[in-house]
Amino acid sequence: MKQMRIGNGCGFWGDNLDAPILLAERGRLDYLTLEYLAELTMSILALQKQRDPNAGFAGDFLDVLERLCPTLHEQPGLKIITNAGGMNPTACAARARDILAKAGLGARRIATVGGDDLLPRLDELLAAGQHFENLDSGEALATVRPRVVSANAYLGARPIVAALQQGASIVITGRVADASLTVAPAVHEFGWSWDDWDRLSAATVAGHLIECGAQATGGLWIGWQQAHDLANVGYPLVEMDESGAFTITKPEGTGGAVNIETVAEQLLYEVGDPAAYLTPDVVADFTSVRLEDTGNDQVRVTGFRGRPATDTYKTSIAYRDGWAASGTLLIFGPDAPGKARRCGEMLLARLRRAGYEYEHANVECLGAGDCVPGVVSAKTAPPEVVLRVAVRDSRRAAVERFTKEFAPLVTSGPPGVTGYTTGRPVAREVFAYWPSLVAKSCITAEVEGAHS
Bridge partners for 80 per DSSP: 32, 170
Q: Are residues 326 and 299 in the same domain?
A: no
Q: Are residues 305 and 335 in the same domain?
A: no
Please give the Cα distance from 308 to 276 (Å, whole number): 11
How far lies 155's CA from each of 11, 27, 96, 180, in Å? 18, 28, 22, 8
- Residue 180: strand, helix, or coil: helix
Please give the Cα distance from 261 to 241 (Å, whole number): 23
Spatial contact of 294 and 300, defined as CB atoms under 8 Å apart? yes
Helices (H) and strands (E) in the chain, counts: 12, 19
In a domain, 121, yes or no: no
- Residue 56: strand, helix, or coil: coil
pLDDT of residue 451: 54
Please give the Cα distance from 36 to 285 (Å, whole number): 25
**H/E segment holding residue 158:** helix 158-165
In a domain, 325, yes or no: yes
- Look at phi and psi of residue 35 and say left if phi exceeds 0, alpha if psi is from -120 to 50, else beta: beta
pLDDT of residue 452: 47
User: Nearest-CA neighbor of 68 among 213, 76, 89?
Assistant: 76
Q: Are residues 283 and 334 in the same domain?
A: no
Q: Are residues 295 and 206 in the same domain?
A: yes
In a domain, 330, yes or no: yes
The residue among 310, 341, 357 that closes a domain is 310
pLDDT of residue 422: 82
Q: Are residues 302 and 199 in the same domain?
A: yes
Q: Are residues 30 and 49 in the same domain?
A: yes
Question: Residue 313: which residues within 8 A CB-CB, separation 6 or more?
Answer: 153, 154, 155, 156, 280, 437, 438, 439, 440, 443
Q: Are residues 288 and 363 in the same domain?
A: no
Please give the Cα distance from 203 to 215 (Å, whole number): 18
Bridge partners for 418 per DSSP: 330
Please give the Cα distance from 7 to 355 (Å, whole number): 55
pLDDT of residue 114: 97
In a domain, 443, yes or no: no
Domains held by the chain: number: 2
In a domain, 444, yes or no: no
Please give the Cα distance from 343 to 337 (Å, whole number): 10
Q: Are residues 277 and 401 in the same domain?
A: no
Please give the Cα distance from 39 to 134 (Å, whole number): 15
Q: Where are the beta strands (DSSP E) in 286-359?
A: 290-293, 299-302, 305-307, 312-332
Q: How many residues does the chain have?
A: 452
**H/E segment holding residue 33:** strand 31-34
The residue among 258, 280, 310 that closes a domain is 310
Q: Are residues 45 and 104 in the same domain?
A: yes
CATH number at residue 338: 3.30.70
Spatial contact of 420 and 327, defined as CB atoms under 8 Å apart? no
Range of the domain at 342: 321-434
Please give the Cα distance from 62 to 272 (Å, whole number): 34
User: Nearest-CA neighbor of 154 among 206, 213, 103, 83?
Assistant: 83
Q: Are residues 221 and 350 in the same domain?
A: no
In a domain, 328, yes or no: yes
Q: Are residues 256 and 402 in the same domain?
A: no
Q: Are residues 214 and 297 in the same domain?
A: yes
pLDDT of residue 378: 73
User: Which residue type, as a one-letter code, is found at position 413?
Assistant: G
Please give the Cα distance from 416 to 333 (Å, whole number): 6
Backbone angles phi, psi at 376, to 5 degrees: -130, 135
Please give the Cα distance from 354 to 412 (Å, whole number): 16
The residue among 280, 310, 340 that closes a domain is 310
Block mean pLDDT (10 aa), the chain, length 452: 95 96 97 93 90 96 98 97 97 97 97 97 96 96 96 98 97 98 98 98 98 97 95 98 98 97 97 97 98 98 98 96 97 95 98 98 94 81 95 98 96 94 92 96 93 50
Question: Residue 219: which residues within 8 A CB-CB, separation 6 or more?
Answer: 213, 230, 233, 256
Which 3-state string (H, E, C) describes 338-380? HHHHHHHHHHHHHHHHCCCCCCEEEEEEECCCCCCCCCCCCCC
- Residue 63: strand, helix, or coil: helix
pLDDT of residue 381: 82
In a domain, 193, yes or no: yes
Spatial contact of 133 and 293, defined as CB atoms under 8 Å apart? no
In a domain, 272, yes or no: yes
Find the radius of gyration of the CA atoms of the chain: 24
- Residue 138: strand, helix, or coil: coil
Please give the Cα distance from 245 to 302 (Å, whole number): 5
Spatial contact of 306 and 284, defined as CB atoms under 8 Å apart? yes
